[in-house]
Structure 1
């Protein structure tokens, strides 16, 4: 059994529930839902398998909680970007937001898990995973619509750009950049982001 770094040196140990979530996130990201067992998670946590049921009713319950966490973390990332750049020119705000969303996959295990959860949900959890995904998308949509409104008010976005077109283009760019994080090293990703950003901005900015 491979070892897992449960917490950085010098920090207090995680509570058992949090430790199980961290290990579950790692194993689900590496091996997928079907190939990961509660016995593996328990062994990595240094507890007996029945002890897991003191914290989670099932493997499905653990997976779905991690899925909700991943969605919440993406929302938190968006909110943090918008707050950090609140007083910056619109172009800088939009660029920062796009870059932050695209680099979500850099987070160890979480980015891979998020990608698996969105694209390849477990067969027996499709309905539950889709509901979580739809709720998350709805929350992201509201934030992106506020971004479009701010851009139009600032005169930074072209007048004919519709809300739907902006949101669809933003998602497509982020999805593409997320996929590239699994194919290229970071220096190359940064170079490619510059090209993607220049084309995206040219397509949405005011004439």
Structure 2
């Protein structure tokens, strides 16, 4: 095949493709800078410079820095939901104890995803002062989606006889959140090996408290 034929076979990049690529690049850069410096200390000028475009060009993709931040927040929330769904699907045929342990581990290690993990922790624990209401709305919507999954999960555990009969569904869900929130917070203080060691202790106590018999 001649060089000309090879060139002809390569799909051309349309303006729409280029805009989508720029939008994705802005999100990746914004995620990195927000995670590293926080919302207040990150400017659109910095994001534009890192993307190799002029600041006004950002407005072709996002109305404001707040709009970019909130979209990244929704993305992070969606990714946490996707992680939960993936864990439940992957371990669907495993005993309930293994399914629960895997789910807790996956949620806890979400914080270690490069850039996104730190961003998620910042968004969840320290939302920007000017965006508290919007951030809380995203968090509440995310929790509602997680609640539905956890409710179905704990009810399946009861049907399988894996959980003690007196364990209330809402108590299980509350304890699950406390463990995840606590482990996410501890990632600010401990390196991963220490967090994994602490997880083993947390898991031992939690499973002893919820298991049947």
Per the normalisation by structure 1, the TM-score is 0.91
Equivalent residue in structure 2 for 1:107, among 109, 113, 123: 113
Shift of 1:5: 33
In the superposition, relative to structure 1, how do residues 140 and 150 fare at CA in structure 2: closer, same or farther (>3 Å)? same
Alignment partners' CA distance in 1, 2:5 and 2:70: 23
After superposition, the Cα gap between the structure-2 partners of 1:71 and 1:16, relative to the gap in structure 1 and judged at 3 Å, is same
User: How far 1:75 moved relative to its partner?
Assistant: 0.0
Change (3 A) 1:4 1:50: farther
Per-residue CA distance 1:70-128 (angstroms, 9 max, x = gap): 00000000000000000000000000000000000010111111111112111111111
Q: Structure 1 residue 181: deviation in Å?
A: 2.0
Q: For 1:31 and 1:70, how far apart are their aligned partners in 2?
A: 17
SS at match of 1:19: helix
- Per-residue deviation, 1:6: 28
Q: Which ranges of structure 2 fall in alignment gaps of 5 or more residues?
A: 8-19
Residue 2 of structure 1 and its aligned partner are, at CA, apart by 42
Segments ≥4 residues shifted beyond 6 Å: 1-7
Task: Report the CA distance between 1:182 and its aligned residue.
Answer: 2.4
| Structure 1 vs Structure 2 CA RMSD | 6.2
> Residues 4 and 183 (structure 1 numbering): CA distance in 2 closer, same or farther, change over 3 Å?
farther
Query: Aligned pair in 2 of structure 1 residues 3, 39: CA closer, same or farther (>3 Å)?
Result: farther
The 1-side partners of 2:113 and 2:4 are apart by 16
How much does 1:185 deviate? Answer: 2.0
Q: 1:138 aligns to what?
A: 144
- Structure 1's 3 and 155: CA in aligned 2 closer, same or farther, altered over 3 A? farther
1:121 match: secondary structure:
coil
Instruction: Please tell me whether the aligned partners of residues 141 and 167 of structure 1 are also in contact (alpha carbons under 8 angstroms).
Output: yes
The 1-side partners of 2:175 and 2:3 are apart by: 41
Larger radius of gyration: 2
- C-alpha change, 1:190 and 1:109, in structure 2 (3 Å) is same
TM-score by length of structure 2 reads 0.89
Q: Are the equivalent residues in 2 in contact too, given 1:3–1:44 (CA < 8 A)?
A: no
Deviation at 1:56, TM superposition (A): 0.5
Alpha-carbon distance in 2 for matches of 1:75, 1:5: 45
Count of residues paired in the alignment: 201
Q: Normalized per residue, which structure has more helix?
A: 2
1:57 lines up with 2:57 in the alignment: no
State the SS of the aligned residue for 1:15. Answer: helix
Write out per-residue CA displacement over residues 13-48 of structure 1, whole angstroms, 9 at most, x where no aligned residue. x81101100110111111111111000000111111
SS in structure 2 at match of 1:191: helix
CA contact (8 A) 1:6 1:22 kept: no
Distance 1:129 1:119 in 2: 10
Could you tell me which runs of 5 or more consecutive residues in structure 1 were left unpaired when the two chains were aligned. Answer: 8-13
